[in-house]
Chains A and B, each alone.
Chain A
Amino acid sequence: MPNGLDLVPAATPPPDAELAARVARGDRAAETLLVLRYTRAVLAVLHKRLPQQPELARDLAQETFIIAFARLRGEGMDDPERLAGFLRKTAIHLVIGELRKTARRRTDADSGSIADTLDEAAGPAAVLEREQTNHIVRHVIAEMPVARDRDLLWRYYVLEHDKASLCHAFTLSLEHFDRVVHRARTRFKELVEKYHVSAP
């Protein structure tokens, strides 16, 4: 019997195929949903290939969506469920094009609207300035209570010592090593989010 406390199932996010069909019909809200869903992943793909150029990565992420929406509105996709793969490949092609210094393509899509949504969807980690990142890293390191763990992190990330030799040198198990790295990563993420919230 319903008692007023029954859990209401959360709305299931629309699948890619449905959003793709809506984009093809010119539905701007569907475009926004896709940008929100995939911006971080597209940026990750781009940051990997453009590690020193976060602003260019952001521009190319925007262009990736512009191209994807133009494609959906034009010839469409054989399998809209593979939208993620299409976005990834488009982003990579844009990087290659950029590196070859080919002319950038422009379309008549509503790029201003995509740019606004992209900023919202990118998440705190993607919009951190380099100085802010370094500030947070200092915090993470300084907070680590065990000097050996700080040393471990430094040797692993900066001096690029391999995991096996570090475990041997510090007489650590692989599991312990992974825990140290995992804790640092988690704490870093927490501080990034905290910084993002408190930043003006």
Chain B
Amino acid sequence: MNVSFPPQSERIRAYLDDQLDEDELEHFELELFSDPQLLDAVESERLLRQGLRDLDAELRERVQRLGPPPAVAAAAARRPPLPLLPMAAALLLGLIPAGLLWLHGNPAASVGNVHQAQLGQLRGAAVRLQLPPQADNLLLLIPQLAREGVDNYRVEIQGPGALRLERDKLVPGLDGQLSFSVPAAQLLAGDYSGRIIARRRDGGSETVGELNFQLEKLAAAR
């Protein structure tokens, strides 16, 4: 197919996004009457876009129906944070959305030297996290769907002794969670509270979640 990619793609997107002025719109639509290839491309683009957005909406609805996750300390196998694929894509790929994982709930245990803590965004009683002595790192997992218009997230957590943990430019992983690790040596036992800030592409930001947990550092068995 003899298509010049950039100009056509740009024009199609501008058309579907209502970014053409009246004259451009008329010119473009009259081309649709005489250019079957352009018509094919517009139809495919429109349906692809609609299908992806429908799936996104479907996923959000499903996760909302599941309700908030139980905020429990959880550990399974050593699991590094997954790369930048938004959660919704997981559904598309036939993987299990994070919401379903919440339903099953993971047992609290620690494997290897990484302790993985699942935090929910619940107000009220703080979650108790127990950090085993062999853990070198605590991997914090915070459920967070990719949101429309949001570019990345910032997490700010304050702990005992003016301890402050901050992470910038976090993006939900394949499992629909923000994740970052903290060296266990930096952590003190006590109460922690924090918030999740969504940073929009237009430069604005807003707090989209709060965190509360109590960390207990377990002593090594004699």
Chain A contact residues, CB within 8 Å of chain B: 38, 40-41, 44-45, 47-48, 51, 84-85, 87-88, 123, 125-126, 128, 130, 133-134, 136-138, 140-142, 147, 150-151, 153-155, 157-162, 165, 174-175, 178-179, 181-182, 184-186, 188-189, 192
Contact = CB atoms under 8 A, between A and B. Distances in A.
Interface of B: 1, 3, 5-6, 9, 15-16, 26, 29-30, 32-34, 36, 39-56, 58, 83-86, 88-89, 92-94, 146-151, 201
A141 to B, nearest CB: 4
B3 A38 contact: no
B52 A154 contact: yes
Contact of B89 (A125, A134, A154): A154
A142 B44 CA distance: 17
A154 B88 contact: yes
B93 to A, nearest CB: 6
Nearest to B146: A159
A85 B29 CA distance: 9
Given A88-B33, A178-B9, A186-B44, 19 more contacts: A41-B33, A45-B32, A84-B33, A88-B30, A130-B50, A136-B51, A137-B47, A137-B51, A137-B52, A141-B92, A147-B83, A151-B84, A158-B53, A158-B86, A159-B148, A159-B149, A161-B201, A182-B3, A182-B5
A71 to B, nearest CB: 17
Given A88-B33, A138-B92, A158 B43 contact: no
A189 B201 contact: no
A188 B49 contact: no
Contacts of A45: 29, 32
8 contacts: A88-B29, A123-B43, A137-B54, A162-B201, A178-B5, A182-B9, A185-B45, A189-B40
B149 A160 contact: yes
A183 B29 CA distance: 23
Contact of A153 (B6, B32, B42, B52): B52
Contacts of A182: 3, 5, 9
Contacts of B33: 38, 41, 84, 87-88
A188 to B, nearest CB: 5
Q: Which of B34, B39, B50, B88 has the most CB of A within 10 A?
A: B50
A108 to B, nearest CB: 27
A133 B76 CA distance: 37
A159 B150 contact: yes
B4 to A, nearest CB: 9
